[in-house]
Amino acid sequence: MRTAIVTGGTGGIGLAVCRQLLADGFHVTALFGGDQEAARRCRDELGITTLQCDVTKMAECARVVEQVHLTVGPVDTLVNNAGICRDAPFHKLLEGDWEKVIATNLDGLFNMTRQVWDSMRERGFGRVINISSINGLKGQFGQANYTAAKAGVIGFTKSLALEGARKGITANVVAPGYIDTPMLAALKPETLAMITDQIPVGRLGSPEDVARCVSFLASQNADFITGETLNVNGGQYLG
């Protein structure tokens, strides 16, 4: 059985990814940052293990991956989905909000991927799927920290793809547009309405729209695809 870890697996997109991979026949473990209630809901709905793990902490990432390795087996699919935003125009952007966003959205990928990479190389198989963002491609007012991290995700993934290619490991990015999850809760309704107007298909994305793309990239159907960025944005940005 294929074994997957999904970081931020109890959040809006992450939960849908866990649900989809489970339906695809994977053994799935969801990691979460600290929201115990969301973790409980995830366990209740999907019956999967949830483990608390701050992806900004290397030691915690090592601990949970080791736990999955010992109890389930080697991880062949890693979905780096945990992410946060702390928006402010650059002239007001606080050092702490720069650091926190880079640490979660970019350092987290290093911390997690480093834990599974050697074993994927040894076994000659692996799938790393990293969640970036439309705004990592096009930039966004008030998101210098977030867009820097999400653009970094794409460069990181391309390098992984080159290094993993001869070892049977693919690394790809899914770059969602605006997806209807708690992450958008910070936006004012009028801002959200304005954004929706800019989406050619005329609606926000759903977590399932993203989850199906992750599922595809994790599957054998995507064996020959690596270093690619799959945009899931309803036509809002044709990068």
Residue numbers of the site for ligand NDP (CB under 6 A)?
Answer: 7-8, 10-14, 32-35, 38, 53-56, 81-84, 104, 131, 133, 176, 178-179, 181-184
Residue 70's contacts (CB-CB under 8 Å, 6 or more residues apart) are none
Q: Which is nearer to ligand NDP, 128 or 179 (CB)?
A: 179
Closest separation in Å from C-beta 139 to ligand NDP? 14
Per the residue annotation, which of 146, 170, 181, 207 is the catalytic one?
146
Give the single-character DSSP code of 8: T
Rounded distance between C-alpha atoms, residue 158 and residue 146, angstroms: 19
Closest separation in Å from C-beta 82 to ligand NDP? 3
Q: Which is nearer to ligand NDP, 54 or 97 (CB)?
A: 54
Cα angle value 79/152/183 (rounded, 5°)? 60
Closest separation in Å from C-beta 162 to ligand NDP? 23
CA nearest neighbour of 79 among 108, 44, 40: 108
Token pair, residue 11, equals 């959040």
Q: Does the annotation mark 146 as catalytic?
A: yes
CB atoms under 10 Å from CB of 164, counted, come to 23
Positions marked catalytic:
146
